[in-house]
Structure formats: structure tokens, C-alpha cells
Amino acid sequence: MIGERTVLIVVDVQNDFCPGGSLAVTGGDEVVPVINALGKRFAHVVMTQDWHPAGHSSFASSHAGKTPFETVEMPYGRQVLWPDHCVQGSRGAEFHPGLALPHAQAVIRKGNRGEIDSYSGFVEADRRTPTGLTGYLRERGFLRAVIAGLATDFCVSWTAQDSAAAGFETYVVEDACRAIDLDGSLDKAWAAMAEVDVMRIRAADLAG
């Protein structure tokens, strides 16, 4: 499975999504050694990075009277409101300091438009604005994507579903991810991924 036509996509392993961060995923830092070990096996690595301007429309602080994890209707649909996180240039937006992927060949920044959130590394939340990742992977000749990172039920799931929709054979490495699990969102995410033939594996399952 691991070869010249396979890319490892590492999703949003950033300080704000790890313990001590403003939108910490329980055990988020536990993915770091697993991903580092995986990364050594892949010649091709791409990373995604949440990169919000201050006052982003997905922040609860941008909506009077709203608190984190409430929802609002945006022009593109229902939006979960989050604590301020991964603000451009902040420490919270930086990759976890333990992440060791010096050979990563591209970093895709997402959510950098103030009026649109972006969970997926491929297409922003309006489902019309591409990040450029699809074109990059196709031009490089990749056929399959192996995905790891944070959080399983949001950015990993959306990235995996869009990877499959773009025609890539797609795998999510369960033990290299952690979830928020907001009101059953983890089970829903795995079901949604399965519906589009995303394969759920563990790091030990990867051959090559």
C-alpha cells in the first residue's frame, strides 16, 4: 500500500487541538508519536493547517449572545460555533512541537477566509471553494491517501470523505486520530465515511 502513488495526509495536529489548547481534543497529543512513526514510512507527506483570521465567523465570540458549541445558520448551512482557535500567527495555530515530519512536501492552509469555515483539507464548508489539494495530488500522480490527525469526527472525516469523492482510494488510521465526539458525532462520522468507501484501519495494518 505504501509506495510512490500513496500520500500520507496529516490533518491539523496543532497546539490548539492538543491538551492546553483552546479547542483541545482529549488525548490529541497522543497521535504525535503514532504519526511520527507513520511518517518515517512514507516518502510523500502533506499536512493541513487550520489558519483562521481573528474574528472568524465560526468563532462563538463573533456572534453576540452565543457560546461555543451552539449552532447558527450561515449562508452555506448550519455552523457549529467554536472557541477562538488556530488564529493566524498565534502559538495555537502552530503545529505540535513534537511533530517530526521534516520531509512533508506541502502544507495546505484552510479556513483562512473570514466568512467560511473549513473542516476538509480539500473543500471549504461552503462545499464550493477548493483548497487546491485535489489538483496538487492529481498532478503529483497519487492514487491513494492515508489520513491521520485531528479530529476524527470533524476535519479528518470531512477530509477523508472529500478525498474519496475526488477519486482517491482513502484510508483513515484510527489509532493515529482522536475525536471530539460532540453529541454522537464520532459514530456519525465513521458511518458517513463508510458510506463513501473510506477504509478504517490501524497503523499496524499498513503494509509496504
pLDDT in tens for each of the 208 residues of the chain?
799 999 999 999 999 999 999 999 999 999 999 999 999 999 999 999 999 999 999 999 999 999 999 999 999 999 999 999 999 999 999 999 999 999 999 999 999 999 999 999 999 999 999 999 999 999 999 999 999 999 999 999 999 999 999 999 999 999 999 999 988 999 999 999 999 999 999 999 997 6
pLDDT at position 1: 75
Catalytic residue among 110, 117, 153, 162: 110
pLDDT at position 80: 92
3-state secondary structure of 155: helix
Rounded Cα distance between 204 and 59, Å, is 37
Rounded Cα distance between 86 and 174, Å, is 24
Task: Say what the alpha-carbon torsion angle 11, 147, 70, 20 is, to the nearest 10 degrees.
Answer: -50
**Helix segments in the chain, DSSP class H:** 31-39, 133-140, 157-165, 185-195
Grid coordinates in use for 179? Answer: 475525536
Catalytic residue among 18, 84, 117, 155: 155
Catalytic residue among 12, 29, 84, 153: 12
Instruction: Kindly give, in sequence order, each residue whose CB lies less than 8 Å from that of residue 46, ignoring residues fewer than 6 positions away.
Output: 7, 8, 9, 10, 104, 105, 106, 107, 108, 121, 133, 136, 137
Catalytic status, residue 187: no
Grid coordinates in use for 139? Answer: 498532478
pTM over 0.85: yes
Catalytic status, residue 40: no
pLDDT at position 106: 98
pLDDT at position 192: 98
Going by the DSSP 8-state scheme, the letter that residue 98 receives in this structure is T
Catalytic status, residue 12: yes
Distances (CA, A) of 20 to 60, 68, 86: 19, 17, 13
Grid coordinates in use for 174? Answer: 484510527
Per the CB < 8 A criterion, the answer to whether 99 and 13 are in contact is yes
